[in-house]
Structure 1
């Protein structure tokens, strides 16, 4: 009987440890910007301050500003040679090179057929993942040829966030988390348990619910809570096994002990 009780307690402890991911604080540095965008782990930090996009490292700081387009809605830095800035008020995306020089402008107001993207993320080659509010579809849009390479079936749900890499795109809606492949086919659909934001690295996800973060390992459907100190989470970023948390004053870097 004692053996059975011991086995049950051991299995309970094991199950609990698997539902929590430890995070070890590695470094903290002061950073006072409007929006923390990215840190490549090689001393390069991307951020927005007073609607100016900047790329900063130990040698120099580069800036890009386009006041005519209003506030920057989102910046995607997944491809450092083709950064994209989305200005939702003017329905426009600007593509920048690694020197923050403008190399392409996509004004959806002047393109036929008309598109009204609410969310934009990076695709492969000269493509963008856009959620088209007009059709309620996720599209893989080639901005060089003005062609849609792939499109999902209509998604009649409020879109909260989007992340992508060259092969996959994740769409977080009010009710579900969707994963799509590069031909627009849905490969996974998970019920949204109150998450509002997400980020991706190596097909692993971190999602935010209130002031807590959860980890979704590649190929699974179970969310693991990340054990963190009591910090205000304004922005977060996942790079490999490194988690960055920003509270508008300090950028904290944690090492995740993932399963």
Structure 2
């Protein structure tokens, strides 16, 4: 009886999986990469990764490197503006801006700011500003890096940030209970939805995301209430990154690029 029930369960589970629509991924190319962390690529064809705490930017014609031993380990890198790459060193409460040649153009130590700030999450925002999550008051703020002016824009939220991402107009995060929120430039916080368990995730906009779970890759549109499987041959990969209909899959062998069209 138990065996029969198990078989019925597996059959039903297979039917559910079979009902999830699929996106075809068309392979473009593959190249070898030895990296600790793959970050992504920009619109100019450069790929970014971290190796031995050195930030590397490369394409077929040029390679640039940035390292700052005095600031310890790189915590995060924001690639939204390839002309102003932002490197975050959490242990030293510092953000460094580097140009497209990887020359250091500005360094901001928030421990020296007149308003107490301890940064635990950051990203580049519109109008010469950074998104800042200040762990001292558990609030989101905006820091004008030209005027060196900081303002708190959100109410505090007690649940710790599990994962975050931002674009110029929105700061996204998932808390430890897997709740997805978004905050705009005016400080308005919007609850998006509760996210199922995942291994990694990338927000594409306010309603769409790509995430990985147990070696599978999914695209989800919460507005359309639509979930889609992205079919790739790799069953074990470290990270995926999507931009401009190109999906990059990072494995221990290197990076494979696929062309995909999202619904």
TM-score, length of structure 2 as denominator length: 0.83
Q: Distance in 1 between matches of 2:114 and 2:63?
A: 37
2:118 alignment partner, one of 112, 116, 119: 116
Q: Distance in 2 between matches of 1:158 and 1:121?
A: 17
In the alignment, which residue of structure 1 is the partner of 2:132? Answer: 130
In the alignment, which residue of structure 1 is the partner of 2:108? Answer: 106
Q: Distance in 1 between matches of 2:140 and 2:198?
A: 20
In the alignment, which residue of structure 2 is the partner of 1:186? Answer: 189
Q: Could you give the per-residue CA deviations for residues 198-226 of structure 1, whole angstroms, max 9, x where no partner exists? A: 32446542233343333233845554343
Alignment of 1:55-70 (within 5 A): 55-70=57-72
In the alignment, which residue of structure 2 is the partner of 1:6? Answer: none
Q: Distance in 2 between matches of 1:226 and 1:98?
A: 33
CA contact (8 A) 1:161 1:197 kept: no
Q: Distance in 2 between matches of 1:251 and 1:28?
A: 6
TM-score, length of structure 1 as denominator length: 0.84
RMSD over equivalenced CA pairs, Å: 2.5
- What is the number of residues matched between the two proteins? 246
CA contact (8 A) 2:216 2:235 kept: no
In the alignment, which residue of structure 1 is the partner of 2:10? Answer: none
CA contact (8 A) 2:139 2:152 kept: no
Quote how far apart the aligned CAs of 1:67 are: 0.3
Q: Distance in 1 between matches of 2:43 and 2:139?
A: 34
CA contact (8 A) 1:23 1:227 kept: yes
Alignment of 1:239-250 (within 5 A): 239-250=243-254
Alignment of 1:1-259 (within 5 A): 16-18=19-21, 20-40=22-42, 42-149=44-151, 151-175=153-177, 176-195=179-198, 197-201=200-204, 204-217=208-221, 219-220=223-224, 222-259=226-263
Q: Which moved more, 1:65-74 or 1:43-52?
A: 43-52
Structure 1: unaligned runs, 5 residues or longer? 1-11
Compared with structure 1, are the counterparts of its residues 220 and 78 closer, same or farther at alpha carbon in structure 2 (3 Å cutoff)? Answer: farther
